[in-house]
Amino acid sequence: MGTGLSIKKALQAVGASYTIKRDSGDISGEYLDAEANAQVTKPFIREFFLEASLAYDSEVVGGDVIVLDTTDIPYMVMNKTETILSNLQIESNAVLYKCNISGQLLRPVETRNSNYDKVTTWSTVKDPAYCLLTDADMGTDLKQREDIGQITVVNMILFIPDSVGVQVFDRLVAASGEYYKIETILPRRFDGVVMCKLAEDTRSA
């Protein structure tokens, strides 16, 4: 495990510290080295995609949200793989997508009022929910500082951790004030991350 320990110490010396955000409690004290792929030309990939090297014993798993301590920027871990040398794991590698939206994920609950009329109330599923919102073409036109409220909801895709337990008809209330309805949950394509199609949420309550 000497090589793995050497890489871990190098990450501690020159890498960036981060915090893993989990409902059971935050995990801190780990370091990573991350960089964008300089050969990629699509603006979305250049702005939102990072390849990271992690210590061999990192507690990160696919679907985690990690926050870089120096910048306070949240990233979603899309997958994690191990590097093996002489039958020993020496480091881990991860693909990170920058989260560009946060807010409350709510679920509709139908009840009856005193007149026995059906009314809808909203139960909190996750707050805050960190997500990546982009267009169906992986955000080739999405810029880092673009106002999410100005992006058309047509053909929008939401990436959200599977651990949140998102369901069709859930409502995402963005911190900036927009309301989105989860219309479709797409087949799983990432480790621990769910893709959803959105619509503007015009439901009352």
Structure tokens at 151: 């992006």
In degrees, rounded to 5, the angle at the alpha carbon of residue 159 between the alpha carbons of residues 158 and 165 is 100
**Of 12-21, 114-123, 134-143, 166-175, minimum mean pLDDT range:** 134-143
Each residue's pLDDT tens digit, 60-106 = 999 999 999 999 999 999 999 998 988 889 999 999 999 999 999 99
Q: Is residue 127 in a domain? A: yes
Total domain count for the chain? 2
Average pLDDT in the 174-193 region?
90
Does 38 have pLDDT greater than 90? no
Range of the structural domain that residue 76 is part of? 2-98
| pLDDT at residue number 1 | 57
Looking up residue 38, the CATH number of its domain turns out to be: 2.40.10
Q: Is residue 205 in a domain? A: no
Q: What's the predicted TM-score (pTM) here?
A: 0.84
Of 44, 65, 98, the one marking the end of a domain is 98
